[in-house]
Structure 1
């Protein structure tokens, strides 16, 4: 299947949509980093939003305070979450495990 040829206007619209999506995902991670949102709240919001559902789970975990590469990898391995999994691809038990991990 050939890649369709897009007009300059269509290319610009696609670029703008991609930029907005990246900004929305970065904003979600920043709210988690700042403590405005808990991980559970972020997962709930991302599950309902098509753009935010594409956030990688490992990136969301690393946005949490005191969670770096090593701890994020340990949590994901314990909960049997693949390293490339996105929020949309999580099962209900995985979501419940992540929420339980960071309950206060």
Structure 2
């Protein structure tokens, strides 16, 4: 199915929206990596840009966790690597938090 043709203004608006979403996701991943933002807050976010982020990408940005460890963890927790933040069920969300957030 072909996409409808966009006017130059519509195309520019779509490109700007996509760039803003990429910037927001990059800022969130950077804040996670530096320990400035807790995982619970990211998983509870209402931001559409964050909700569309792949969970593998999100976990790989945690301190001390790379892509390989994130893949292994998702496999252990029985969560698909292609799952996005908004697609996590409540049980999957709980398992992730139990695995990555220290209980104290």
Runs of 4+ in structure 1 deviating by more than 4 angstroms, as ranges, are: none
SS in 2 for 1:51: helix
**2:25–2:50 Cα contact (<8 Å) kept:** yes
Q: Residues 1-104 of structure 1: matches in 2 within 5 Å? A: 1-45=1-45, 48-104=46-102
Shift of 1:25: 0.9
Is there any run of 5+ residues in structure 2 with no aligned partner, and where? none
The CA distance in 2 between the partners of 1:80 and 1:7, in whole Å, is 44
Is there any run of 5+ residues in structure 1 with no aligned partner, and where? none
The CA distance in 2 between the partners of 1:95 and 1:64, in whole Å, is 16
> TM-score scaled to structure 1, two decimals?
0.91
Shift of 1:69: 2.1
Aligned residues: 102
Shift of 1:101: 0.9
CA-atom RMSD, angstroms? 1.1
**1:31–1:37 Cα contact (<8 Å) kept:** yes
